[in-house]
Each structure stands twice: as structure tokens, then as C-alpha cells.
Structure 1
Amino acid sequence: MAHATSLQDLAPPTRTTRPHPAGPADVVTELCAALFARFRGYDQRVRARQYMDGLLQAEGRKSIANIAASVGVPGDEQRLHHFVNSSRWAVSPVRRALAAFLGRDDPDAAWVALPVSIPKAGRHMVGVSPHFSAEDGHRVVGQQACSLWYASARMVAPVSWRLGLPDGLGTAQDCVAELLEDVREDARADARAGQGAPRLIVTDARGVGERAQVARLFGHTSPVAVRISGRTLLAVGEQRRGAGRVERLAPAHSALDRARRTRYAGRSPYGEGPLATATVSVRLPGRTGTAGGLALLGVWHELRGAPAELWLTNAGDPSSPALLRATRLVRRVDAGWRARGRDVGLRDYEGRSFQGWHRHMTLASCAYAMAELRSAGSVGGSSLVA
């Protein structure tokens, strides 16, 4: 199954916005201080910063050899190899520190779970299997993984990872479920500590196993917004003469037929152009009671035709601008994965070590956050992946 490292011990995020230092160099220094406090010795802190700097500076593939050549001296390649694959340090405290640090940025930020496919590169790569890649649109040989991202209007950055294993163990859907269960554990810890409402979880369930994935996501009380396909069956209430209010099963694409006349038109907060939205109350088939009540949100990029996007949610008012903004964050995360994620080496670990993969991805996530904070500080608070 997927790796056991989790966010269960995430430091609870505060619910007040933290003012960042004016200079990007200051906030990066603060980030490094928060991250490196989790390493036991001075040598580990040196290697961690060296590795992160190398991920940002090395040309081409972010192999350990290229990282060492860009920031090190003779002998550093072996030292960095040992640090990533053999040294004694756990990824959980570093991921907790990263998530807690970013979590102070915006109390309205969300968690975005993004399944990704990483094509095989090189002879040695852990967790490789043939599978269909939604990103590439065809079957590939590579890794199936899931990333959990901190996402706000200001910036996005990955904070945790799961890696699926070959032979059908640890599928992308399993990895998503495990990551989100970790988030829910953290939310329950927040509630016990009296630290406010949990963050919204945003993900995309379309594809293989969609029905089971949707049922799994709404099997808890955490606030969730999940993108679904038009063929997903939902129970829709309607008023019938002489029969009162009854429910009928309908595919999601037609559940909004009546609501289309009351669409709200507005503009996307992230430069996509005009959008129109409409909502309707629904349930998952077989679910009863108030706990089973959900809302279906349709998003139109053009006023004619079927909605371009369908979102199912249990989070507050489905017509609120905040929820629409949250659904837009998935696009920003995907853009970040494709662009900056490639630049900092999130696709570049080559090795057979499961532990090494998780350590590389953790340090690459920290490097990603470092680059985002530098960019956000230098352009007055706007992420470059927007």
C-alpha cells in the first residue's frame, strides 16, 4: 500500500492571517528556520539547504549529480546521496512544519488533492507500473502518486505525498483517500483544541472508480468540494402535483436543468473570463437524513450548452463566491505541478528507494514553497502560477 508517512501530526494552523515580512529574502529565511529545526544535527541542516538550493539552481534533470555540481564541492554528491537515501531523518516533521508555516498565510486557504502521473525516466525508478495518465491522455509507464497542496489566492505549494505501488496496490484513488483521511485527523485535532473550522478539501473524482470515490469522500463530515462527471447519478428533489416533493435519480449533467434559468453571471477571480453558475440541492443515491444533503454547483464558461464543470459539495452556501474561488484553485495547482513542479524536480527522482523518493519529494516541495514565497514577495503578493 501507499507510504505510511502522514499529516496526522500537522501543527494546527492558526485562524488569523499572518503578515509576511516585506522582503522575499526574509520570508525564505523564516521558512528555512522553521523547516531545518526538524533536523537533528548541523550537517543535516547543511545538506537539506544544499539540496533545496540545488533543486532551484541545477540545469536540466534534478539528479543528485546535477544538484551537487551546481551548489557543492568534490565529494558532495556522495554526501547528498547518503542524506536522501540512508541518513536518519523522517519526512513527517518536515512536512508538518511546511504545512503549518504556509497555513498561516490565509485562513480561507484550502487543501487540494491532486493525483499525478510521473513517466518513467532512467533505468531505476521505484513504484513504476503501466497505467492510464489523465494528464497525458494515454497509457504510460511510470509512477502513480497523489499530492496534497496548500492553496490560497496568494500561492500554492505541495506539502505531502503518497506513492501508489504496482500490481494494483495503492491506486491513485487509495492515495487520495489516505491523504484526505490525514487531513481529517488534523481537523479533528483542531476541533479538540478549539482552533476553528477545518479547511475545505478540494479534489477531482472523475475517472475510474468515480462512484466509489465520491461515496468515500462524503462518508465524513469534513467540508469537501469534489469535481464529478456528468454521468454521476444523483437524487434530485422536485415538486409534483398531487404527490408533494419527491426525489428522482438523474445524471448530474441534467440535474441542473431547472436551475439553469437562475444562473448567476460573474467573473472568475483568476482571469478565466466570465463565468455563470447555478446550484441545486441533491443527495447521493441511498443516502437519507440531513447528513446526506449536498449541493451540486454547475459552472458555465459560455451561457449556451451544458455546464463545463460540475462540483458536488457539503460546504456551506454553494452559491458563495468563496466556494467558486476554491474550485478555481484546482486549475492553479495543476498549472503549478506542470510548470514550477517540473522546474524544482518533482518528476526527477531516479532510484529504487521508497524512502528516498519520499525524501526527495519532501525537499522538492520545500524548494517549491521557497520559490513561490520569493515570487509572491517580489510581485506584491501574486503567485506566478496564477
Structure 2
Amino acid sequence: MSLQVFSERGHEPLVRFAEQVFGHLPRSDQRRRACAYLHGLLATPGRKTVSAMSAAADVPSIAPHSMRQFVNASSWDWRPARAELARWAAERMPVEAWGLKVAVVAKRGVHSPGVHRRFVPSAGRSLNCQVALGLFLVSRTEAIPVDWALLLPDAWADDPHRRSRARIPSNAAVPMEQAALDLVDAQISGGGLGAVPVVADLSACTGARQLVRGLGLRRRDFVVALRPQGGTPPGARARGSGPLRHGAGRAVPQAGPPSAPALPPYRYFSLPGRRPTRTWMTSMTRRHATDLRLLAGLDEQAARAVSRLGSGFGLLDFEGRSYPGWHHHMTMVSAAYAFSRLEPRLGPVRSGPGPDPHALDGV
């Protein structure tokens, strides 16, 4: 695919972007490596290996071993960078929803954090892979990843030695629905973008119904596609509720036990002409059916973004074996993708000399 460097004057826009997103890094050498890594993701054709990206950056002081050290061994916190990336992106796009999307990353080995063999519905077969959940800012034309969770199977969650070797904290092993709620809690504040709904097609995930309950308890508006489950809403059997009733415009109250917080009503709808047919659930009982279907359609933007991240931005190319390293790499991948999609496009990408290695010294 054709990538963009966005300026005929050189790398100034990329340097300014790196200054904003990674300005929290305490050392100037870390900030230089962040900028070089971004340039490598944008300028390197084919696989984004550290060796290939270092060659593309062509900065003598940033050799492959220092790039690997920066990503895999360094202890810098990725969360401030992701929060700043979300702010940067929100200023440049008309955000209509927060999107949740699963990304499956095929792997050959067994040592990368979270790698395991599982059946992947989208591929129709079992794959040796990592499974990640991304949180996206979504408009009608774009989906920008701003946060990630790595989903750990039991083989990793129940093996302290394996987790220790990969530097995986004990609280990282949570079900998909809790990981999704953690992403929502971390990124969505009480105002501003907190008012836009959460949109997700998680019909292939077993925890989607627990997710919508968690969103309901948080009073977050949502539009979520559910996995078929015999026609009952989440918790219906435990509460003795009646069967699931389909069709936008029919609100179904959620009555919990007397001691539990009252959940908002919800409604169900489907997207005409889509195959396979999915049942969507929403908390927005007063929104017109057309609006709800437009919101559900935003999930396709997140799906396209995951595909682009894999084909041109290094989502599939992390080579390390540490959990922090994976998060560092995914932060860089997300930032490179956001820069590529949202900066003005003023020229073709160039390999060769990257940004001035001292451009970030004063940050």
C-alpha cells in the first residue's frame, strides 16, 4: 500500500507528532527512538522488523539493538502515550463512537506473550495466534486505534512461570468482557467523548452479553452485536424473564435482584440484507432505527482498520517475547496509523535518512 510522509519539507510533521504523543518519556534518547520507530513503521516496505526499520530510519545512533531495547526491555509507560494519542485523534476527526474490535495475530512460535492455538471463526480453522482487543475512535470514514488489551488463554493465565518470563502482571489475565470494560474505563472520561456510544460486533465472543451488562451498569450507551444464545437476553433465565423479542422500537426492561442496581432498558434490532444475520442490542431505546443501524455499520470501519494495521503498519510483526514489549509495539503501530490517516497528505513516503536524531532533545 502507499504510505505518506505528509510533508515535502522533510520530517517536521512526524517530529512534532512524536513530541506530542511521546513527550512524557523522561529521556531524550527514548524520544528519539520513538520517533525513529514511527518513521520505520511508515517508511519500511513489507514486514516491519526492527532490522528493516532501523535501515529505513538510517540514523547511525539508533541501531537495531537499541530499537529492540527501547521496545522490549525498556520500562516506559505506554498509557500516557495512548491517552495523548486519543486526544490528538479526537481533535482531527468527527468521532461518532468508540469501537471495540478483536484482532487475531498468527504466530509461528510459542513464546510470544499470549500465543496459543485456537479456532478462529473468521479464518474457519484453528491458528497458532495471539488475540488482542482494540479500542478505536470511529467516524463514518475512519477508525483510529487508541488502546489495546492482550487476551490471555488459561495456559498463560494459570502458569506463573510463563507469566513471569514474559513479564505479564497477575491482573492482566481477565476475560474478554472485563478487558473491554477496562479499556472503556481507562479511555472514556465523564464528559466530551464519554457521550458517544460504544459500538462492537462481538457476536463471535462468548462474553458479549456480560459486556453489555457492564456497560449498562456504567450507564454507557452501546450498540453491540450478540452471539446467538437460544433467544434470551443476558441473565434472563436467572431472573425468570420471558423470551428475547426482536425488532427495533421494542424496549425490554432489565430488572435485576432487589439488591442490584437497576439497569436501563434495552432494545434489539438487525441490519437488513446482511449475512450472516446478527442480533444487535442497544441501550438507546429512543433513537430511530435508522440511526441505530448507521451506528452498527460503524463497526465496519474498525474491521477495515484492523486489516490495514496488519497489511501495512506492523500489527503482525512484533518479534519480542515480553508483555510490555507487545504493548510498546502496539502503541507505536497505533500512533503510526493515526499519523498516516489523519495528517494532511503532502507527499509520498521516503525511506532513507529519518528525522534528525536530536530533534526531540529539548522535549
User: What's the TM-score, normalizing by structure 1?
Assistant: 0.71
User: Which one has the bigger strand percentage?
Assistant: 1
**Superposed counterparts of 1:1-386, under 5 Å:** 25=7, 30-73=16-59, 76-106=63-93, 108-122=95-109, 124-167=111-154, 169=157, 174-184=175-185, 187=188, 189-191=189-191, 195=192, 198-207=195-204, 208-230=206-228, 231-234=230-233, 249-251=242-244, 255-256=246-247, 278-284=248-254, 291-301=263-273, 308-315=277-284, 317-319=286-288, 321-374=290-343
Take 2:176 and 2:207, find their aligned partners in 1: how far apart are those partners? 13
Letter in 1 for 2:68: H
Q: Aligned with 1:218: secondary structure?
A: helix
Cα distance change, pair 210–197 in 1 and its aligned pair in 2 (3 A) = closer
Take 1:218 and 1:51, find their aligned partners in 2: how far apart are those partners? 39
Take 2:67 and 2:209, find their aligned partners in 1: how far apart are those partners? 44
Check whether the contact 1:296–1:310 (CA below 8 A) recurs between aligned residues: yes
Check whether the contact 1:200–1:223 (CA below 8 A) recurs between aligned residues: yes
Instruction: After TM superposition, give the deviation of residue 378 of structure 1 in Å.
Output: 6.8
Cα distance change, pair 82–351 in 1 and its aligned pair in 2 (3 A) = same
Cα distance change, pair 121–372 in 1 and its aligned pair in 2 (3 A) = farther
Take 2:208 and 2:180, find their aligned partners in 1: how far apart are those partners? 17
Task: State the structure with bigger RCO (CA 8 A, min sep 6), 1 or 2.
Answer: 2
Letter in 2 for 1:233: T
Gaps of 5+ in 1: 1-22, 236-246, 257-277, 380-386
Check whether the contact 1:47–1:83 (CA below 8 A) recurs between aligned residues: yes
Show CA shifts across 1:281-334 (max 9, x none): 2245757997341121222027xxx99332111135332654333211111111
Gaps of 5+ in 2: 158-170, 235-239, 348-363
After TM superposition, the structure 1 stretch with the greater mean CA deviation from structure 2, 356-365 or 314-323, is 314-323
Instruction: After TM superposition, give the deviation of residue 72 of structure 1 in Å.
Output: 2.4
Count of residues paired in the alignment? 315
Instruction: After TM superposition, give the deviation of residue 41 of structure 1 in Å.
Output: 2.7
Check whether the contact 1:144–1:171 (CA below 8 A) recurs between aligned residues: no
1:10 matched residue in structure 2:
none
Take 1:313 and 1:355, find their aligned partners in 2: how far apart are those partners? 35
Cα distance change, pair 134–219 in 1 and its aligned pair in 2 (3 A) = farther
Letter in 2 for 1:330: D
Letter in 1 for 2:48: K
Identity %: 26
Show CA shifts across 1:175-226 (max 9, x none): 4433433423554x535xxx57532111223233444444344333111111
Letter in 2 for 1:125: S
Cα distance change, pair 320–351 in 1 and its aligned pair in 2 (3 A) = same
User: What's the TM-score, normalizing by structure 2?
Assistant: 0.75
Q: Aligned with 1:143: secondary structure?
A: strand
Letter in 2 for 1:166: P
Check whether the contact 2:177–2:211 (CA below 8 A) recurs between aligned residues: no
Letter in 2 for 1:65: S
Cα distance change, pair 316–98 in 1 and its aligned pair in 2 (3 A) = farther
Take 2:40 and 2:137, find their aligned partners in 1: how far apart are those partners? 23
Show CA shifts across 1:2-48 (max 9, x none): xxxxxxxxxxxxxxxxxxxxx95487565333213222232222211
Q: Aligned with 1:149: secondary structure?
A: strand
Letter in 2 for 1:344: F
Q: Aligned with 2:328: secondary structure?
A: helix
Check whether the contact 2:135–2:146 (CA below 8 A) recurs between aligned residues: yes
